[in-house]
Chains A and B, each alone.
Chain A
Amino acid sequence: MKQGTARTLRAFAIELGIYALLVTGYFFLVLHLLGGWLYGLEVHHRYTYAGIAILLIIGQAVVLESVTTLLLRLIRGRSE
């Protein structure tokens, strides 16, 4: 394996590790803090739940896109 490839793969593994830690923390935040509230909304206020669901998934997408862009930039270094 070329030295450059090995370095990239190592960096990628490190960044994935950091990402995994962030995601694990995020799970506890979302699932434990929002889980019960979202369940209540889904049962009693379906229209509000639908709107919140869209906002949540788009919001998460924007945040994670920024995080992954940052991480991938670190992985790819100069090529970005």
Chain B
Amino acid sequence: MFFPISGAHISPIYLIIVGFLVGILGGFFGVGGSFIAGPALRLVGLDWNFAVGTDLAHIVGKSVVAAKRHRALGNVDLRLGLIMAIGTIAGAEAGAQLIQMLKRAGNVNLIVSIVAIVVYLSISAFMLWESQKTLRSQKRRSSKEKVKGAIAKRDKSAFGPTTRAIQRVKIWPMIALPTSGVKAISLWMILLVAFVGGVFGGFLGGGAGYIRMPSMVYVLGIPTHLAVGTDLFEIIISASYGTLTHAIKGNVDILIALVMHTGAAIGAQIGAISTQYFAGPKIRLAFVPLPLIGAAIVIYTLFTGHKL
């Protein structure tokens, strides 16, 4: 099928399948999935700039579907999502500026690649350690609370003491997040987490859900299910902003995004519903391979010089 805006010939079946797979990942883990969709679009010959912009547009649509489903399941904290969107957009702009500075210095590719690999591997290693430790301690404690249907959203984490220490930091203004079960937390802490996620998004590309979702769980103490749903809600706002700026620069083929989204819409629903059958630590454990895929793509690009 010919897409006149980008001038690309791509099979719509391929786009729907990619959208479906990324949709499942997004609905289940609360990530945009740009580390898969971007290379998948490149693979069929779409120019890099169109792959990035079009992927963002498709992420907006997919996140609307998944966030609506998560909201119906009670997994979205609107207040937290809106605050985080502000921090993320500011961070994304800072990350983009950082890239411009490194471009002027002339060593952008190497630095970005090394930072990305270190960040991705650290997240995977940390989440593997934490989720396994939590699962082991839960198994030891009791087998009374079995995961069945709508499971308890207040999940345990081996990193809990550190999270509680962060929540005790009293920097005015303190706000409550009743939906997430957080009695009081500094607004600046939320903005900082969102800003750091945004910087990584602007710096490394994509929505940086692989950083924001774990940060919400470990730093802010948000239950995993709510972190997934709230991150998706936040992605709607930040990815819409990204889509607008990319569309103005001529980097969005909305027709490709619309076709991809037809697969993503059903995949995102399946992913979102599936979260109800897994406890928080199991979702976190299943999350571990995602940053590793990101790291593998960066390593491939670094050694071959071909951007996937």
- Interface residues of chain A, those whose CB is within 8 Å of chain B, are 16, 19, 23, 26-27, 30-31, 34-36, 38-39, 42, 46-47, 49-54, 56-58, 60-62, 64-65, 67-69, 71-72
Contact = CB atoms under 8 A, between A and B. Distances in A.
A69 B68 CA distance: 10
B266 interface: yes
B16 to A, nearest CB: 7
Given A31-B1, A39-B5, A60-B61, A54 B16 contact: no
Interface stretch (B172-180, B216-224, B256-264): B256-264
Contact of B261 (A46, A51, A60): A60
Given A30-B258, A36-B4, A54 B65 contact: no
Top 9 nearest A-B pairs (CB, nearest first) are A50-B247, A61-B64, A64-B265, A53-B254, A61-B61, A57-B61, A39-B4, A65-B65, A23-B262
B124 interface: no
B138 interface: no
A47 B248 contact: yes
Interface of B is mostly: helix
A51 B58 CA distance: 15
B284 interface: no
B64 A62 contact: yes
A69 B269 contact: yes
B112 interface: no
Interface residue tally on B, bucketed by range: 20 to 34
A72 B273 contact: yes
10 contacts: A19-B266, A38-B5, A46-B250, A50-B243, A50-B252, A54-B247, A58-B61, A60-B258, A60-B261, A68-B266
Contact of A35 (B62, B64, B255): B255
B60 A56 contact: no
A57 B60 contact: yes
A74 B225 CA distance: 25
Contacts of A60: 61, 258, 261-262, 265
Given A19-B266, A64-B65, A65-B64, A57 B261 contact: yes
